[in-house]
């Protein structure tokens, strides 16, 4: 039986095995680089966003409409229990908790300094909502929301010369704009992974802070909402926005933390550019292979035209050859990438060991000490489509040349 174009194209690829294998090697390696590069970024940025959300207002934040521009404790929201119930009814939400965040002056008997406090209900939070990179580095955790206790960032504790069980006084501007103070014993020290945050971070039980601020029992500065997938934040925000009272707005993590969002957008943009460069190099290699191969076979194309092939069939024949290169390249890329990828998923890279234990931070968020990898399925699919697309695109001109063959000249009968 006469072979179809796809079969002919496949066989044509193997007429020059070395050239085809070299081209496949470049596609395979390009696929490997793109997948690994994207996998590092996807997981690492997702981790950073999760850490930022846990230390801040969640993936989606419900807060007073003016709090984002003027974050004072006078701009609170009430009936947070109802808002939490509303949020938890959304299918994308894993957890919703009330928090109070604000500025405070923190003092011990020895020192006094400005700080940033996060007040929460320790019985309502867990690792999904509140997880610090280094966690509790000394002392113990809160037992309940009305403990008379304080946790300090490790550097802040050092600066205040505070020892465990020392008295710590925090002074805030209350709901009515008056100075108010609260006191607790230092129960522990925490490490956020971000050096700047460790020098100013104060954790407090929420009911004690409500009492100091004059807040009611269902009042807070925000409801922090946590999602299974941070990328769904805009959709969850939009769903919730229609059900909220006018005194409450819903914001996504990137609206609340524009510095981190900008950093990630910049890094993702850079990564996309690098991937584009890789794709262009891969496409150039394919173009070279196909173009040389087509020019070598012009006589053969003339013969094919003579026996009845149409220019369109020759065009499709070459496109099939490029598509085969792309498909086989992607398949080989998957074979090469899978074991490395799976190994790194199981054995994340210890960045801390590379930075001699120094913590790094971006926009006040600590970089995760373990560089995990994990690619979003849609990005994986996109890379596959891009590689095959680039190969087919690279084959367009050679295919066009093949289709434009002048049989009389090609066969050299004149």
Residues of this chain that interact with other proteins (CB under 8 A) are 1-4, 8, 11-12, 15, 299-300, 303-313, 407-408, 411, 413-414
- To the nearest whole angstrom, how small is the minimum distance from the Cβ of residue 307 to other proteins? 6
* Smaller CB separation from other proteins, 4 or 176: 4
Distance (Å, whole) CA 192 – CA 201: 8
Q: How far is the CB of 8 from other proteins (least distance, A)?
A: 6
| CA–CA distance, 229 with 224 (Å, rounded to integer) | 15
Assess contact for 188 and 175: CB atoms under 8 A: no
The minimum distance between CB 9 and other proteins, in angstroms, equals 9
Burial of 195 per CB tally in 10 Å (0-12, 13-18, 19+) = middle
CA distance 123 to 302: 80
Q: Which is nearer to other proteins, 356 or 413 (CB)?
A: 413
CB 14, min distance to other proteins, A: 8
Cβ pair 103, 116 in contact under 8 A: yes
CB of residue 3 to other proteins, shortest distance in Å: 6
CB of 323 to other proteins, least distance (A): 17
Rounded Cα distance between 256 and 59, Å, is 9
Element containing residue 107 per DSSP (H, E): strand 93-107
Q: Which is nearer to other proteins, 95 or 297 (CB)?
A: 297
Using CA atoms of 188, 192, 197, 202 in order, give the dihedral in degrees to the nearest 10.
Answer: -30
Nearer to other proteins, 8 or 336 (CB): 8
Helices then strands, each counted (H, E), the chain: 14, 14
Dist. CA 203–CA 132, nearest whole Å: 12
Q: How far is the CB of 325 from other proteins (least distance, A)?
A: 16
Which residue's CB is nearer to other proteins, number 3 or number 216? 3
Smallest Cα–Cα separation from 49: which of 236, 261, 206, 223?
A: 261
Q: Which is nearer to other proteins, 96 or 314 (CB)?
A: 314
Using the minimum distance from each CB to other proteins, give the nearer residue, 73 or 314.
314
How far the first Cα of the chain sits from its last, in Å, is 33
Sign of the CA dihedral 48, 51, 55, 58?
A: positive
At its nearest, how many Å lie between other proteins and the CB of residue 285?
Answer: 23
319/365 with CB nearer other proteins = 319
């Amino acid at each position: 039986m006469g072979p179809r174009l796809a079969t002919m194209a496949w066989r044509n690829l193997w007429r020059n095995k070395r050239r085809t294998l070299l081209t496949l090697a470049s596609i395979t390696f390009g696929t490997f680089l793109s997948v690994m590069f994207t996998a590092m970024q996807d997981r690492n940025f997702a981790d950073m966003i999760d850490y930022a959300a846990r230390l801040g207002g969640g993936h989606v934040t419900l807060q007073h409409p003016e709090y984002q521009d003027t974050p004072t404790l006078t701009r609170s929201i009430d009936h947070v229990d109802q808002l939490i119930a509303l949020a938890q009814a959304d299918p994308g939400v894993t957890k919703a908790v009330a928090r109070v965040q604000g500025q405070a002056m923190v003092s011990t008997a020895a020192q006094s300094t400005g700080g940033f406090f996060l007040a929460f209900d320790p019985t309502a939070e867990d690792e999904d909502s509140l997880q610090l990179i280094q966690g509790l580095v000394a002392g113990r955790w809160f037992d309940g929301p009305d403990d008379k206790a304080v946790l300090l960032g490790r550097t802040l504790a050092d600066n205040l010369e505070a020892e465990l069980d020392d008295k710590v006084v925090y002074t805030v501007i209350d709901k009515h704009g008056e100075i108010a103070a609260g006191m607790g014993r230092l129960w522990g020290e925490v490490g956020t992974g971000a050096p700047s945050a460790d020098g100013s971070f104060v954790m407090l039980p929420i009911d004690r802070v409500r009492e100091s601020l004059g807040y009611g029992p269902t009042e807070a500065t925000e409801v922090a909402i946590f999602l299974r997938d941070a990328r769904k934040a805009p959709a969850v925000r939009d769903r919730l926005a229609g059900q909220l009272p006018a005194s409450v707005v819903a914001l996504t993590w990137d609206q609340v933390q524009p510095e981190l969002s900008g950093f990630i957008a910049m890094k993702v943009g850079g990564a996309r550019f690098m991937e584009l460069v890789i794709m262009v190099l891969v496409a150039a290699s394919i173009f070279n292979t196909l173009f040389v191969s087509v020019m070598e076979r012009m006589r053969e194309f003339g013969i094919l035209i003579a026996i009845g092939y149409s220019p369109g069939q020759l065009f499709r024949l070459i496109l099939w050859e490029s598509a085969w290169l792309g498909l086989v390249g992607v398949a080989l890329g998957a074979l090469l990438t899978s074991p490395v990828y799976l190994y790194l998923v199981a054995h994340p890279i210890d960045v801390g060991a590379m930075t001699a234990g120094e913590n790094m931070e971006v926009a006040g968020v600590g970089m995760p000490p373990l560089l995990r990898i994990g690619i979003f399925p849609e990005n994986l699919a996109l890379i596959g489509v891009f590689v095959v697309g680039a190969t087919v695109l690279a084959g367009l001109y050679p295919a066009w040349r093949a289709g434009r063959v002048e049989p009389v000249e090609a066969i050299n009968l004149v």
